[in-house]
Structure 1
């Protein structure tokens, strides 16, 4: 499911409240209806949309009562700044992912899940180990959130500086993208346009302004960093 559709789906407060409730325990329609203080018919319609999106699933118990529960984990990120707007959704990686192989990521991932230490299912999980691992992961989640905020702040500051240098508040995001592209070597206007997804006319206009600021220079048909 793409990010835009997910934003539309979660834009409804009652659907968000349903997911919050189901994150605590599976529920049947009457329970959800009482929790939301809305009609069962409205709840069924919300659940239908959540099921179609793959976020919610249902099962029937021995009394043929239909319970609903959250089907999958996902993360939705929304970035709003003076230089751009973007959304990104991601589903969790499989347990087999070895995060230590990520070249630029320095996370202590040596601690394994307590369940992985069980031998043939005979050992009982140590509650202290489970609690410690949960606490460690929650701390890491908070640290990653702070790191994202720090990166976003630095990105905005850098784009502000580019806007000052080029004296162009309107196209500072494009100027930054062009700088990043030219950091990999000389490129033509057409090649830059393909990289930054912008029309050649706008790219050429922005390059001319950047050249006046001494950031780039043109050699024959190619542009390079000055």
Structure 2
């Protein structure tokens, strides 16, 4: 499901409360209805939408009662700044992912893993601490990105600052042509050409055989 669709789905307070309840334990409709204080019919409608989105699944017990539970973990991120707005959905990586092969990321990974309950509890605690550290690092990166974009805008001091930030961000990846910049920055080619002309006059960009690039 697209991030925007997921954001719309979770915009409903009762659906968020259902997920909060199901994160504690699987529940059947009447339990959820009592917890929310709404009719079973309304609960069934919410569950149907959550099931269609792939967030919730159900199973039937020996007494033929249908229990609902969260089918898989996911993370929905919303980023907003004076220069950017976006949403992103992240799902847990497969157990076969080799995190040690990820560039510029150093994480202490035990190749054997925990085996008994005490070790598993310690491992869970360690992972929760790591999650908090990564969340703090992500907040720092987001704040730093906003600061850098504002510095770029202050240096430009003309026109639509966001356009300059977006176009320079694309050019930072290396030499490229106007059409590519237009597509990645979501800006018309004519506007890209005007911005590049201004940046060239200020010796910020230069043209090479492979296209335009930052003059660094």
d(CA) in 1 for partners of 2:208 and 2:112? 55
Partner of residue 214, structure 2 = 225
Call closer, same or farther: CA 1:45–1:186 in 2, change over 3 Å.
closer
d(CA) in 2 for partners of 1:221 and 1:72? 45
Q: For residues 130-188 of structure 1, what are the alpha-carbon distances to aligned partners after superposition, in whole Å with 9 as ceiling and x for unaligned?
A: 2211110000000010011000111101100110111147333x323333433454433
Partner of residue 121, structure 2 = 131
Q: For residues 73-101 of structure 1, what are the alpha-carbon distances to aligned partners after superposition, in whole Å with 9 as ceiling and x for unaligned?
A: 11111101100111110211111111001
Partner of residue 175, structure 1 = 164
Q: What TM-score, normalized by structure 1, do the two folds share?
A: 0.87
Per-residue deviation at 1:220?
9.0
Per-residue deviation at 1:219?
6.5
Per-residue deviation at 1:20?
0.4
d(CA) in 2 for partners of 1:146 and 1:85? 20
Per-residue deviation at 1:110?
2.4
d(CA) in 1 for partners of 2:209 and 2:79? 38
Which runs of 5 or more residues in structure 2 are unaligned?
A: none
Q: What TM-score, normalized by structure 2, do the two folds share?
A: 0.91
Partner of residue 153, structure 2 = 163
SS in structure 1 at match of 2:212: strand
Segment of structure 1 superposing worse, 105-114 or 77-86: 105-114
Per-residue deviation at 1:218?
4.7
Q: For residues 52-91 of structure 1, what are the alpha-carbon distances to aligned partners after superposition, in whole Å with 9 as ceiling and x for unaligned?
A: 1111111111111111111111111110110011111021
d(CA) in 1 for partners of 2:91 and 2:208? 45
Partner of residue 89, structure 1 = 89
Which runs of 5 or more residues in structure 1 are unaligned?
A: 118-124
